[in-house]
Chain A
């Protein structure tokens, strides 16, 4: 069985528009892949399609998670198989407390593996790491949260659900310096500890978050295709030149 989150020739449409036009990508356990690209290039579509959003139609190709056919599974089964998506814009669920949501989710993906006292301890450790007050647990999921609070809650869930593969969709966007540092520290700690074997697909259009989690591989997506793949220095190149440089390089290369 081939381990990894393996996307092959994936084509995805929203309505009648084909957005992803054949994506090939393999995220290996313990490795960090960054997926960069300008707005509208299809990065979030890839994240949603892999998580099973009903608004996206798989037109062709496939995706496997440690050998399992990901696209055949419902969104909850994909999570149980070990996939996690940190949302760019997480939904608010009024009336459902963060504590209740975390407990229910953990229980769903890893039934009965943590006694309540141990679970509480894990949650409190993560709260501290993320710089979150414990009163946060009593608030309703994302309801009236600031941008920074929403992203901290996504990181809290990531740490508590312990997936095998995590897709972080624009986790760094809209964060102030403190929130970015909190999110970055949380990721670093995770990578040093129990998340060492976790594979990451970090979607971003600025390389800011990559200062905290150095990518092993950087992909650049444009118009629904991965047009360039390289090492960490590719992110630096984008930082320096913007996407225009890459676009020119790609189009002149193709011509």
Chain B
């Protein structure tokens, strides 16, 4: 039966944008094997992404909320209204696709002044051909919390389009961790962005370990004086994995501070492009931004393009960027082997050490241990 629609719903608009907006590109590097422009956004049937949230009971008692956005709209209308204000779904093909299909929308709210010590863990259980997890995190004034987002995918999940919107209100302290360890058969398109108010702090810790293809951005917008952010991450394409990641620290306001730190490696035929953006607006006097990104190539066919992009319109700012790319240092390997450590073990130890400054940015020993274990498995 044909349907007649008179008014275009946001869903239809989002779907149309997902169909018509260009895919992110161009494909980086001559070894890149996946053509993102060939991905047909209508070529799958949407599945589901069910969120399970672990909150310590102490935090729940103090008013921390994790529920569907529709329910939050009734109980916490001000916070729920932040949906779509951080990630503009009209601005990108896959963000639009997420907006068109996001079935369950998780909303986590930390009330005014509430400090949550235990990390709040969100596990998305992904089912079907395509899944569209969506998370809105709002830390109200003076609140402090850590959110850890993880995925469990059933077999058959081939496309994941993920959006995280984080709102850090005045004087809040919010930490968002994403552990992406999807099966190689899945492709993920992600947009993880946060808006940081005055004297607030937003820390991202992103681990991109899984999936055959990961295309995404992680971004903080520092909207008022005293706002600060850390964007830290590790990624490690191995085998035939491909990754195209952009970070952005945007400084529209004066006296704002950002630190971007990425450590990456590639092995086998692993391919990656990382673009580290720092954008300091004309009004952002006294801004302080650093970008450090180091890449380790562990095989001949592995490739990482590392592109720092600094756009600085203000005069009295501090901006630093440093990037290295290279293989393991042979003198370090020799030194370790003279201590009886077999060469493959020495290489693994040194490569893991290379990641350590970024691993240290993950908030719990459990996460750090998990990261070291998973990274070590990828080093051959």
A residues near B, CB below 8 A? 51-54, 74-76, 78-80, 84-85, 87, 90-96, 100-101, 104-105, 108-109, 140, 157, 161
Contacts and interface: CB of A to CB of B under 8 A. Distances in A.
B232 to A, nearest CB: 14
A91 B337 contact: no
Contacts of B339: 76, 79, 101, 104-105, 108-109, 157, 161
Given A94-B354, A95-B352, A140-B353, A104 B335 contact: no
Interface in B325-355: 329-332, 334-343, 345-346, 349-350, 352-355
14 contacts: A54-B334, A76-B340, A76-B343, A93-B350, A94-B356, A95-B355, A100-B349, A101-B339, A101-B349, A104-B341, A105-B341, A108-B339, A108-B341, A108-B345
A92 B341 contact: no
A95 B375 CA distance: 14
Given A94-B354, A140-B353, A74 B337 contact: yes
Nearest to B355: A95
Contact of B337 (A76, A95, A140, A161): A76
Contacts of B346: 76
B353 A94 contact: yes
A54 B331 CA distance: 10
Give the dominant DSSP class at B's interface. helix
Most buried by A among B330, B332, B353: B353
B357 interface: yes
Interface in B233-291: none
Contacts of B334: 52-54, 75, 91
A31 B66 CA distance: 71
Nearest to B330: A54
Interface string B116-145: 000000000000000000000000000000
Contacts of A52: 334, 337-338
B377 to A, nearest CB: 17
A78 B293 CA distance: 37
Contact of B340 (A91, A92, A95, A161): A161
Interface string B346-370: 1001101111110000000000000
Most buried by A among B332, B354, B357: B332
Contacts of A91: 329, 331-332, 334-335
B354 A79 contact: no
Contacts of A100: 349
A161 B341 CA distance: 12
Most buried by A among B332, B335, B340, B343: B340
A79 B339 CA distance: 6
Nearest to B346: A76
Contacts of A78: 338
A104 B345 contact: yes
B378 to A, nearest CB: 16
Contact of A76 (B341, B350, B356): B341
Nearest to A87: B335
A105 B335 contact: no
Nearest to A142: B335
7 nearest CB pairs, A to B:
A95-B353, A95-B356, A79-B340, A108-B340, A109-B340, A105-B339, A96-B353
Nearest to B353: A95
A85 B353 contact: no
A105 B332 contact: no
Nearest to A53: B334
A93 to B, nearest CB: 5
B143 to A, nearest CB: 32
B353 to A, nearest CB: 3
Contacts of B337: 52, 74-76, 79
Given A108-B339, A109-B339, A161-B339, A95 B354 contact: yes
Contacts of A108: 339-342, 345
A93 B336 contact: yes
B330 A93 contact: no
B292 to A, nearest CB: 13
Contacts of A54: 330, 334
Nearest to A84: B338
Interface string B155-187: 000000000000000000000000000000000
A52 B352 CA distance: 24
A93 B335 contact: yes
Contacts of B354: 94-95
Contacts of B336: 93, 101, 105
A157 B336 CA distance: 11
Nearest to A82: B340
Nearest to A83: B338
Contacts of B356: 94-96, 140
